[in-house]
Amino acid sequence: MPISTDAALHGSPHSRSSRAPVSRIPRVASLVALVVAVGACIAPASESNADPAFETTTYAPQNRPDVRGTIGAVSAGHPLAAQAGLEVLKDGGTAMDAIVAMAGVLAVTRPHMNGIGGDAFGIFYDGASGEVTALNASGRSGALATPEFFTSAGHDEIPGVGPLSVSVPGAVAGWVDAHDRYGTKPFDQLLEPAIRFARDGFAVSTRLALDFEAQGVDLNEYGRALYLPNDGAPPTVGTILRNPELAASLEAIALRKKAGFYNGPIAQTLADFVEAQGGHLRASDFANHTSTWVEPLRLDYLDHTFIVMPPSTQGPAQLALMEMSKSHDIQTMGHNSAEYLHTLIELKKLAFADRDRWIADPEKADVPIARLLDPEYLRNRATQVDPRAAAESVEPGFGDDHMATDADDRDDAGDTVYLTAVDQWGNAVSWIQSNFAGFGSGLLEPETGILLHNRGSLYTLDDGHPNQVAPEKRPYHTLSPMMALRSDGDFAFTLGTPGGDSQPQSLLQITHNMLLFGMTPQEAIEAPRFRSMSGVRVSIENRVADASLEGLMSLGHQLNVIQGWTATFGGAQMIVYDRENGVLTAAADPRREAYALAY
């Protein structure tokens, strides 16, 4: 789907002589969310005062405009990152070049959510050939990480934070490997904005200060000194936040690529830091790390082919939700009706029961993907939805004994960033990277300025479970970027969101909003969402109609109605290509600090 016909991928990725002006997006003030427990009352639905001009929708008018261009587009989890990515595209860079620049900036400007101490995944569309590839850039456990390593230290489950929650960070290797295959600009040049923001600083926003205050409880003394410097309070809004040690680490990566992180002083310093506190990582674990190019999973739904990551991610749960939705007359139910919401919530429980039972590192465990995504199996699963009552729990499939790890509440805010880019040659990238929980493991290594993630907390010690911890094994991952193609194989859109377990739920709702209910990308992202938690608990935005909330409660759902634009429901971004008109539409979620730009 080349957007411009005068160049081919990697043949001559040069700048155009003239470009359309960059769309300008108004800033939206950060809102502090109020959580309202249903029982006493339900907050009034905002759509009751909707402007008549928006009668085609079932919710309030858009918070932000759709951003449109004809040459290239980006969307990222911070305005400075989006700006860096757009500058790369306008300077003749590829979509992957823009992703590296944005990923680096996000590692500095959203440090509690992602960074060079975390993991990443990407899906790539080649605009010249139509080939789709995927990269698993997550790290593995250390060679010492046996179940006995944890039990001998007195643990009967994997700790959620601290040194035993740390696996090898894979993001840096992912940046380099994807750039080697799909980038054209010098790698060190792409990290210059990130290095500058780490060294010289950037202004603290209201949203960032609120996040630091809410999520910094597990930070070590070095992390608290940097991110909660005012006697345990965050930096004052509008002040400059600097991390010169991180700038030096980024410079080493810019100059030496993977060797700058996985070999030499940085790797040794991080390994010694973790080992001194009782963790299982050693310098050799860093040196042995590799990314893995994998075959993505595909499913045809709503006249599109949807592409997701295979295990070790929850990608199969995304496709299972779509396949099971085919067995229900979703569109006729009506957008965000009680019947519609109830059906999606109950389908989620079925998909997640299978996910929690079976998803693991396929290099170390038998993951029955073909059975999990078998259409007949999923049609039978879909019939288990009781239209009259919410299920407290459901069992996984295959008639097996129940063996699952309930992850539904472990990543409530979803401390992740999603970013996406499409360039002038029609190349597209759907990319996600994460620390997992807020501030990851809570461990900031002071010499390098690197905050280590806690993806290793997602292993289990349950004997016989596919995701049981073992040496050099990837943990189960919630990270799930997505891409969609037209039925003829041309690129249609990228889509992704932070949010841990809410990711498949949010992506399905946004997809339906656009493809079933006719919303624009920005409308689809802003429309009110639900997030099913464990059991019958459901978080839901107060912009859903009162009748729908009351209907859900009558079916046994325990609602937590949330007011405002909060991170509970992720922070989705997307880029859609309108082939007929040659227009790219980029969208970004006001629930976080995401911004979209196009030209």
Which residues are known catalytic residues? Answer: 416
Residues 6+ apart with CB under 8 A from 271: 281, 282, 283, 285, 286
Report the C-alpha gap between 382 and 373 in whole angstroms: 12
Secondary structure of residue 376 in the 3-state scheme? helix
Q: What is the C-alpha separation between 195 and 243, in angstroms, rounded?
A: 9
Beta-carbon contacts of 187 under 8 Å, excluding residues fewer than 6 positions away, are 100, 176, 179, 254, 257
The one-letter amino acid at 393: S
Buried b (16+ CB within 10 A) or exposed e, 274-305: bbeeebbbbbebbeebebbebebbebebbebb
Burial of 461 (0-12, 13-18, 19+ CB in 10 A): middle
Among residues 459, 316, 322, 475, the alpha carbon closest in space to that of 397 is found at 316
Q: What is the C-alpha R_g of the chain?
A: 22
* Cα–Cα distance measured from residue 34 to residue 7, given in angstroms and rounded to the nearest whole number: 50
Give the largest Cα separation in the chain, rounded: 65
